[in-house]
């Protein structure tokens, strides 16, 4: 049970047709339904970076919801997960 209460930070970079299609807006919209913090932003190489923080179960559910909703746009991803206390306040769209 203790595992479920730990906080995690997950950084995912999505590639594919992810810029200019409302990807960040949809991610922010999905995040509003979960108890997570973080951000989503376009990167200069044409990818989108998403940083999600929260309890493991909640971050996993949010990521699954995003990937299910946007499955036609992202083709591949790189993911890095770390344990640690949340550092962000809310979830937002960021600029470079």
Q: Which position among 9, 17, 42, 56 bears the catalytic label?
A: 42
82 is catalytic: no
Angle between helices 23-31 and 56-69 (to 10 degrees): 140
9, 11, 17, 24: the active-site residue: 24
Q: Are 32 and 81 in contact (CB under 8 A)?
A: no
Contact, 37 vs 90, CB < 8 A? yes
Catalytic, 56? Answer: no
Residues noted as catalytic = 24, 42
């Amino acid at each position: 049970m203790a595992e479920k209460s730990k906080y995690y930070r997950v950084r995912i970079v999505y590639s594919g047709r992810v810029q200019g299609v409302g990807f960040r807006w949809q991610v922010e919209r999905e995040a509003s339904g979960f108890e997570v913090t973080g951000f989503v932003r376009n990167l200069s190489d044409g990818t989108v970076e998403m940083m999600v923080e929260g309890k493991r179960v909640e971050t996993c559910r949010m990521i699954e919801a995003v990937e299910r909703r946007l499955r036609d746009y992202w083709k591949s991803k790189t993911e890095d997960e770390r344990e640690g206390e949340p550092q962000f306040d809310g979830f937002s769209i960021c600029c470079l």
